Amino acid sequence: MNETISTRDRIVEAARDLFLVNGYNGTGMSQIQTAAGVRGGSLYYFFPTKEDLLLAVLDWYRTHIWEGLLQPVYERISDPVERIFGVLDSYRQLLLMFEFELGCPIGNLALEVSNSHPGVRALLQSNFDNWIEAIEICIQDARDRFPKEIEPKQIALFTLAVLEGGLMLSRTSRSAEPFEDSIAVLRDYYERLIRDEISWSAPRQSPLSPHEL
């Protein structure tokens, strides 16, 4: 196995990386050709329009959320709440590794194209939904630590909002501080939720910092 990568896949991966750095409107089809080592004929053979290519990129992210994001974290961390903060920490590392040039691939595209390309919104939404669902499951796995009245899905959505906002502020300032501060406050919220709960029920094991794992 591991045959030579198909032309189509090379195009999708080149477009994915360029969209991530330069955005959709900031990336030309000719740049994608160059990066993929492919000529115009092939590009338009597989993707008749640029929007088709955007859809393929978003589909790539949708199908790779497990192996690309969740699985590496879940392998290292077993505690469901710490898994959430482990996922968030992956984005922090992405920020640092590429000097704040890269943020959330979906979030960037969402703001840029959701007005002008309505046909793309469903796939953007599907990416967000999968992310939220993964976090929701983590919260449900730690259901007994949280107050009964909280909605896991709402907390998961909120967590995504904090992530996206924190990434935006750190990319603008070219500093990890806004992101780290946002996540620190989010953790404070989680801890207060959990503390409010354990005052009414059984004590739980002490939480692990992601840096100890």
Partner DNA sequence: GTCTATAGAAGGATAGAC
Partner DNA sequence: GTCTATCCTTCTATAGAC
Output the 3-class SS for 63-75.
HHHHHHHHHHHHH
Tokens 């919260």 label which residue? 139
Q: Closest approach of Cβ 7 to its own copies, in Å? A: 28
Q: How far is CA 92 from CA 40, 50, 68, 130, 185, in A?
A: 36, 30, 15, 20, 15
Residues near DNA (CB under 7 A), total = 18
Work out the number of other CB atoms within 10 angstroms of the CB of residue 71: 12
Residues that bind its own copies (CB under 8 A): 21-23, 25-26, 101, 103, 107-108, 110-112, 114-116, 121, 124-125, 128, 154-155, 157-158, 160-166, 168-169, 171-174, 178, 181-182, 184-186, 189, 192-193, 196
AA letter at 177? E
Stretch in the footprint of DNA (CB under 7 A) among 44-52, 55-63, 116-124, 135-143: 44-52
Whole-number Å distance between alpha carbons of 93 and 124: 23
- The interface partner of residue 28, options being DNA, its own copies, none and the CB cut-off 5 to 8 Å by kind, is DNA
In whole angstroms, how far apart are CA 89 and each of 165, 182, 187, 196, 211? 14, 12, 12, 25, 10
- CB atoms near residue 43 (< 10 Å): 22
Distance separating alpha carbons of residues 60 and 20, to the nearest angstrom: 13
- Which residue number, 5 or 202, has a Cβ lying nearer to DNA? 5
Q: Which is nearer to DNA, 41 or 203 (CB)?
A: 41
- By beta-carbon proximity to its own copies, the closer residue of 33 and 127 is 127
Residue selected from 30, 63, 93, 154 as contacting DNA according to rule CB under 7 A: 30
76 binds, among its own copies, DNA, none (CB under 5 to 8 A by kind): none
Q: Which does 154 bind (CB under 5 to 8 A by kind): its own copies, DNA, none?
A: its own copies
- The tokens describing 204, both together, are 């739980």
Q: Which helix (DSSP H) or strand (DSSP E) does residue 164 occupy?
A: helix 152-173
Q: Which is nearer to its own copies, 22 or 130 (CB)?
A: 22
Coil, strand or helix at 36: helix
C-beta of 107 vs 210, nearer to its own copies: 107
39 binds DNA (CB under 7 A): yes
Q: Write out the residues near DNA by the rule CB under 7 A.
A: 7, 27-31, 38-42, 44-46, 48-51
